[in-house]
Amino acid sequence: MKIQKIESFVVQQTLEESFSFSQWEYQSRSICLVKVTLENGLYGWGEGYGPSGLVKAGIDFFRPFLLGQNALETENLWEIMYRHSLDYARRGVMLASLSAIDVALWDLKGKLLDCSVSVLLGGRKREEVQAYATGLYFTEGNGLAKRLSDEAQKYREQGFHAVKMKVGLSIQQDIQNVQAVRESLGEDIHLMVDANHAYSFTEACQLARELERFNISWFEEPVSPENYNDYAELRLRTSIPIAGGECEYLRNGFLTLFQSRSVDIAQPDICAAGGITEVKKIADMAKTFGVQIVPHTWGTGIAIAAALQLAGNIEIGPGRLFAPDALIELDQTENLLRDELTQPCFKPQNGKLQIPNAPGLGVDVDKKLLEHFLSE
Ligand code: MG
């Protein structure tokens, strides 16, 4: 079961139409994938969430410590990577490199033991997971509220039960946009808003007060992820649940988030926060604080499969006869890397995604398309 090879691949797509959120504009998508291969030729796939060139450099750093090691020992290998990076990278992109390798190791472990990752994690609690549509970004030109309203209508017709939109342009514009989207969706679909930490505490309080009338299911990253006290204070001042955690890392980071009572919903990204090994522990810890876990995803089918496998296993607290479904994020922006690179392709039916049953993550990369999307 020895690891023979660790390869990284940066795949890229130039977007036909750029889009933006409160922080910057996207003109392309670029993702670093990792393939870990054993002596017997069996391989597993992972990916990192973060700037692809930096994720790749982190994988290069970890490689020599892992070659020749037993791939089944996911916990030990995680610890080796952690100890070698701790002094420089208690947060941030090196942990995305660690996460990418960890995800690939879980894929491999499932293939070696002939079971899906959710079974390896302790068992499947469900066969399908609700996916919420992430879209409704900002585009240039007049008539944004109308365009958002049309896009929201599309998600409704596709069968999504929950949709997330961007805020963070300005309070007045946000109110107009949210009103247009809520009217378009109707009242029976969950609507969440995400500011990507665009606002000060005072602004976030003001926007939350204004948005309460639109029945918002959560307000995501209202303020800087560093300002735990502002999150906690905002939670007390609004009836809208508060979400965050896509910029948080490791058990230690999430412990701070939970102990400060900052969020109702925590959103670790498996491909950044420490991989499947660590996010399983974060999910267990979240339950002890009464916090709901909804994994953040922003990548290829590998990241989606990892989130599905984890969501298939985690406990949705507090537990009752008709408990709510597990939920994951499903980005709907233009992304051929998500739509074409991996098989199976994850298309929700009636807003739900099936958790793959095949060994490991249950997803594979198309060789030809990998070459096609490789960046020079
Ligand atoms: Mg977000």
Q: How confident is residue 250, by pLDDT bands cut at 50, 70 and 90?
A: very high
Strand residue runs (E) in the chain: 3-20, 25-38, 43-48, 128-134, 162-166, 190-194, 216-220, 242-244, 265-266, 292-293, 327-331, 342-343, 352-354, 364-365
Reading the block at residue 246, the tokens are: 């896509």
Please report the pLDDT score of residue 375 as a whole number.
85
Instruction: Tell me what percent of the chain is helix, strand and coil, each rounded to the nearest 5.
Output: 40, 25, 35
Q: Give the residue-averaged pLDDT of 208-229.
A: 98
pLDDT tens, residue by residue, 219-241: 999 999 999 999 999 999 999 99
Chain-wide mean pLDDT for the chain? 96
Q: What is the DSSP string of 104-144?
A: HHHHHHHHHHTSBHHHHTT--S-SEEEEEEE---B-SSS-H
CA 252 to chain centre: 19
Phi–psi pair at 335, nearest 5 degrees:
-165, 95
SS3 of 5, please?
strand
Confidence (pLDDT) at 142: 86
98 Cα–ligand 1 center, Å: 21
Which domains are assigned to the chain?
Answer: 2-115 (3.30.390.10), 119-365 (3.20.20.120)
296 included as an active-site residue: yes
Looking at the predicted structure, is the pLDDT value of residue 376 above 80? no
Q: Which of 49-53, 197-201, 301-305, 322-326 is predicted with the least confidence, judged by mean pLDDT?
A: 322-326
Q: What is the pLDDT of residue 140?
A: 84
Which tens digits make up the pLDDT trace of 106-137? 999 999 999 999 999 999 999 999 999 999 99
356 Cα–ligand 1 center, Å: 25
Q: What is the pLDDT of residues 134-178, one digit of tens each?
A: 999 998 888 999 999 999 999 999 999 999 999 999 999 999 999
**Cα(245) to centroid of ligand 1, in Å?**
8
pLDDT in tens, 27-69: 999 999 999 999 999 999 999 999 999 999 999 999 999 999 9
Among candidate residues 161, 190, 197, 296, the one labeled active-site is 296
130 CA distance to ligand 1 middle (Å): 17
Q: How many residues would you count in the chain?
A: 376
Which pLDDT band holds residue 210 (cuts at 50, 70, 90)? very high
